[in-house]
Structure 1
Amino acid sequence: MRVRSALLVSLVVALLLSVGPTTAVALDDHDQRDDQRQDIVIELQDDGDAIWTVEYHRVLANESEREQFQTFADEVRSGERDVRTDRSTFAQFLPYAEERTGREMAIQDASWDRPTVRPVSDVAGYNATAYSNETQVGTLRFSFTWTNFAEVDGSHLRLQDTFLTASGDPWYSEVGSNQRLVLQAPENHDFVRTPHGIDNNRIVWEGPTLLGPDDYDIVLVSRAGVLGFLRGSWPLLLGGLSLVAVAGGLIWYVRTRDDEWDDDAPLPDWWPASEAFPDRIQRLLDGSSNGDAGGPSTPPADDPVEQTTTEAETSDVDPELLSDEERVVHMLTENGGRMKQAAIVDETGWSNAKVSQLLSQMDDDDEIEKLRIGRENLITLPDVDPTQIE
């Protein structure tokens, strides 16, 4: 089964960006203006799902264009403006991926996110020097979750079959002019097979470019899986360390058999300076950073000293150093233990689909609690009473 290029166009070209009251400009891969760009970002998840975000960027040269863009964005989000981009736009590709992979898939949480307006220098793909300092870029985002997108094979994620039809042809075969396709790995995964270089744990295709089956021959591995392998192989590792220790002892004996022992002699350069070095080896074998097997352990949550330190340092935490889950917990802590889901979307800048899936997983893991209030979700920490709403 061969999919014609028109299907690709319907995927990435469906939106009509119009900032004027009567005109409409089609974002297609043949006649796209330089002041308009598209980014298609696929964020892989640990469980094989993928969060897709299609971003439509438009240069806004003055206040009038910014106002027109905001009006247009409001009409799109409210459904007043039909731009032919919705769940069905992407659901038409499910049969090709399902037939090739044999996995059942679905498009979930499809929605338009709140528009953003940023300096042109903050948006990838634009040459900021070609614009004035007042120039900004308006961005509209359509996001959704594609379930079972990647094949989960033990600690590996595999992608190639998802992008191919039953005949072996890619159903997504072209990145158009002024477009980018970005594939983002999960935080705890690394690429082990890619078609080209990796940038910040992601693969980026800049258009215009054609894509073939080999471009999707992509495999990732979980870092937890690697540590699991090390734990399962600890007898071999300990055996190897024992051989090294014996060999080192023999060398030491040969070199010192004619010399007296000097307690004040300096340690050799290769000797670890920290006495906790064996503990770090044990923690690596245990797959834990908390010293579960005899190393320095983390004080319990009710330790008053630890609590004091945590409270004092909460406001100094750099969000960029936190995992997604830790960042949500940090924000909730900073806001008295409760926040609306929409506020989390606004503060993080993540898509609605990503936040929805992340919070659902954290709720399942008892890290947070979700309470439906009207058309909104209230998110709280487990020890916070959700009925006591400020």
Structure 2
Amino acid sequence: MRVRSALLVSLVVALLLTAGPTPVAALDDGTGDDRRQDIRVELLENGDASWTVEHHIVLRNESDRERFDAFAEDIKSGDRDVKLDRSWFEGFVPHAEAGTGRQMAIEDAGWEEPTVRSASEVGAYEAGEVGPDTQIGTLRYSVTWTNFAETDGDYLRLQETFMTASGDTWLSGLEPHQRLIIEAPDEHDIVTAPQGIENNRIVWNGQTTLGPGDFEIVFASQTGVVGFVQDSWPLLLGLLSLVAVGGGALWYVRTTRDGEWDEDDRPDWWPSIAPVATRLRHLITDADPGDDTDDRDSIDEPSPEPTESAVADEDHDAVDPELLSDEERVMHLLTANGGRMKQAAIVDETGWSNAKVSQLLSQMDEDDDIEKLRIGRENLITLPDVDPTQVE
């Protein structure tokens, strides 16, 4: 059975079918033109996908802001029955499984902290629809969809994921107020896309019809490209060796009879090629091009081992989070906070989505790098050597 655009339509209906007045009913001016909905699909390196449904509401005055805050608090506490939950996504998993032959699951579903930002930060409104400084309240529901993309070495592919067993797409359109955004994983590039790419993501704005050709999307790992270049070094070095042998033969012919190089006999083209040769030599030997010392000295004399005091000083230097992997950053945060943190605090510190953090922590827990303990409605994350029973 073809599912048409049922997913996105149902997500809208899900957020509107609540017990009592919704923010849209309370805050819209009667036209409904203020509402916007972003559906973000953030691909992860292992083929999982973090789906986030963002419902944006224009807050024109303080009264609107108060109603939005109250509604968001009701959702967070469970007092408001919003028909948007794990089951809405699970209804579409069988169609994707039939089209791909892969087993999938919906995990880590839940509401994230509501936010209030300016319209310019949200980016869901066209210029002139609302002022750039207009306050926009956003409610987010996120899930992790496992095994979403096909993994093929350094590539991730999406087309079959959106296909049913009959060859149709289970996601075939957007409503006028909706936007679909598919984002590449970290350190990946989009190499095949059905339309223009914006900041390493593909964006569709409704009203839009989507067919099989719209999901011919392929991502490539940047690490794979670097690996290809690294694997090519033997060939490059071989070519450089041939150049060096040929140059050496020329130099030998041009030398004096006692075998010493005559500075006056250097060819006219030597000054122009010398900087290039020097630069290549530095790249190959990993030396500093600005270093005036003789390269042979740097090769023949090994670098001294760091002293214990130097290592100790290095350990106390501030760590740049950009230089750490995701797992290392979590471990660094835990160490800096006495070996224990709430999962929500890790989300706040890293700025990552709740789904991404939850998926990462689950994997680290399986690898025995950390321990997760459920306390009430929250997860407590600790290092393996920290006793969670000591937490107040």
TM-score normalised by L of structure 2: 0.79
C-alpha distance in structure 1 between counterparts of 2:158 and 2:31, whole Å: 29
Q: Is the 8 A contact 1:62 1:135 kept in 2?
A: no
Corresponding residue for 2:56?
Answer: 57
Q: CA RMSD in A?
A: 3.8
Corresponding residue for 1:355?
Answer: 357
Q: Secondary structure at the match of 1:312?
A: coil
C-alpha distance in structure 2 between counterparts of 1:275 and 1:238, whole Å: 11
Taking a change above 3 Å as real, the CA distance of residues 299 and 358 of structure 1, as seen in their structure-2 partners, is farther
C-alpha distance in structure 2 between counterparts of 1:54 and 1:156, whole Å: 26
Shift of 1:194: 1.5
Shift of 1:112: 0.9
Q: Please list, as runs of the form range in 1=range in 2, the aligned pairs for 1:264-275 lying within 5 A after superposition.
A: 268-273=274-279
Taking a change above 3 Å as real, the CA distance of residues 241 and 211 of structure 1, as seen in their structure-2 partners, is farther
Q: Is the 8 A contact 1:17 1:24 kept in 2?
A: no
Corresponding residue for 1:331?
Answer: 333
Structure 1, gaps ≥5 residues long: 282-293
Corresponding residue for 1:369?
Answer: 370
Look up the equivalent residue of 2:9 and give its one-letter code.
V
Corresponding residue for 2:187?
Answer: 188
Q: Please list, as runs of the form range in 1=range in 2, the aligned pairs for 1:1-390 lying within 5 A after superposition.
A: 1-16=1-16, 22=21, 25=24, 33-126=32-125, 131=130, 135-229=134-228, 235-249=234-248, 260-261=262-263, 268-273=274-279, 276-280=282-286, 304-314=309-319, 317=320, 319=321, 323-365=325-367, 368-372=369-373, 374-375=375-376, 376-381=378-383, 389=391
C-alpha distance in structure 2 between counterparts of 1:234 and 1:320, whole Å: 28
TM-score normalised by L of structure 1: 0.79
The C-alpha deviation readout for 1:239-298, integer Å capped at 9, x for no partner, is: 3443344455456667x5587138x997823134486521449xxxxxxxxxxxx9x999
Look up the equivalent residue of 1:5 and give its one-letter code.
S
Taking a change above 3 Å as real, the CA distance of residues 357 and 136 of structure 1, as seen in their structure-2 partners, is same
Q: Is the 8 A contact 1:115 1:139 kept in 2?
A: yes
Q: Is the 8 A contact 2:111 2:142 kept in 1?
A: yes
C-alpha distance in structure 2 between counterparts of 1:272 and 1:385, whole Å: 57
Structure in which a larger fraction of residues adopt helix? 2
Taking a change above 3 Å as real, the CA distance of residues 206 and 32 of structure 1, as seen in their structure-2 partners, is farther
Taking a change above 3 Å as real, the CA distance of residues 127 and 2 of structure 1, as seen in their structure-2 partners, is closer
C-alpha distance in structure 1 between counterparts of 2:366 and 2:379, whole Å: 15
Shift of 1:164: 1.1
C-alpha distance in structure 1 between counterparts of 2:148 and 2:86, whole Å: 16
Shift of 1:354: 1.4
Shift of 1:353: 1.8
Shift of 1:109: 1.0
Q: Is the 8 A contact 2:49 2:145 kept in 1?
A: yes
Look up the equivalent residue of 2:210 and give its one-letter code.
L
Considering only CA atoms, is the larger Rg found in Structure 1 or Structure 2? Answer: 2
The C-alpha deviation readout for 1:142-198, integer Å capped at 9, x for no partner, is: 100111101111222111000111222221111322322111111132222111232
User: Aligned residue pairs: how many?
Assistant: 367
Taking a change above 3 Å as real, the CA distance of residues 249 and 83 of structure 1, as seen in their structure-2 partners, is farther
Look up the equivalent residue of 1:312 and give its one-letter code.
D
The C-alpha deviation readout for 1:293-336, integer Å capped at 9, x for no partner, is: x9x99989x9542442342323xx3x566543344344334434
